Amino acid sequence: QKEVEQDPGPLSVPEGAIVSLNCTYSNSAFQYFMWYRQYSRKGPELLMYTYSSGNKEDGRFTAQVDKSSKYISLFIRDSQPSDSATYLCAMSDTGGFKTIFGAGTRLFVKA
Amino acid sequence: KAGVTQTPRYLIKTRGQQVTLSCSPISGHRSVSWYQQTPGQGLQFLFEYFSETQRNKGNFPGRFSGRQFSNSRSEMNVSTLELGDSALYLCASSLKLGLQGNTEAFFGQGTRLTVV
């Protein structure tokens, strides 16, 4: 079993929809939870990160961490065609410097 | 300011050959980390260099190696290429070690390696 599981999709939604992207993990030592966005033929870029548990909001994006369920989510409100990309979750513990990535979910937002 | 530059962007090699990929970090960044991205396995950590020293290493065979120069530029080498080494190889540069909560780590566009 992988340390981080993420449904690869693809996920196709109409413009304006609320998108929910999720990852589950097995390592309870993870404390940093990140979401990256990767456009086609580009490298990943950090969207948001959360330390430990709780929610974090940045514009149309909200990241949630539920450590009791080992489950993290990224919500995108009022989705736009420009949000079409692959979204990668990633996690790290505080001691090591290795980050474990999910496989990525491909998102298509249709105009 | 200039971003992270990876060269070449695309590469086709034959099984058994070796290949060297280059990563030029953002000016002032001393950490360079390397990742392999494949559709099946996603993004996997290869190794990280800081000030010319390898600080962390992932679970890849010894055919994968790297180094960092005094100007922080880094190279990774894969010897005896296998078909399964076909992937997008990404590097990330940063002021500090690791990606955890690191808002100052930036990825390059990657080198697409195809082994035939």
Those residues of chain A whose CB sits closer than 8 Å to some CB in chain B are 6, 31-32, 34, 41-46, 49, 51, 88, 90, 92-94, 96-104
- Rounded to a whole number of angstroms, the distance from the CA of B107 to the nearest CA of chain A is 5
In the A/B pair of chains, how many CB contacts fall below 8 A?
A: 68
Q: Are strands A4-6 and B42-50 parallel, antiparallel or unpaired?
A: unpaired
Chain A partners within 8 Å of B105 (Cβ): 46
Q: What is the pLDDT of residue A97?
A: 67
Q: What is the pLDDT of residue A1?
A: 76
Mean pLDDT of A50-55: 88
Residue A50: pLDDT above 80? yes
Strands (E), A1-111: 4-6, 11-14, 19-25, 32-38, 45-51, 54-58, 61-66, 71-76, 85-92, 100-101, 105-110
- Give the list of residues 6+ apart from residue B109 with CB closer than 8 angstroms, or none: A41, A42, A43, B6, B9
Q: Search chain A and give the residue with CA nearest B6.
A: A43
pLDDT digits (tens, 9 = 90+) for B13-55: 999 999 999 999 999 999 999 999 998 788 999 999 999 999 9
Asked if B5 reaches chain A (Cβ–Cβ under 8 Å), the answer is no
Residue B98: pLDDT above 90? no
Report whether B13 contacts B115 (CB < 8 A): yes
Strands (E), B1-116: 5-7, 10-13, 19-24, 31-38, 42-50, 53-57, 64-68, 74-78, 87-94, 106-107, 111-115
Q: Search chain A and give the residue with CA nearest B55.
A: A97
pLDDT digits (tens, 9 = 90+) for B61-96: 999 999 999 999 999 999 999 999 999 999 999 998
Alpha carbons B29 and A107: distance in angstroms, whole number = 32
- Rounded to a whole number of angstroms, the distance from the CA of A98 to the nearest CA of chain B is 7
Instruction: Tell me the pLDDT band of B1, cut-offs 50, 70 and 90.
Output: low
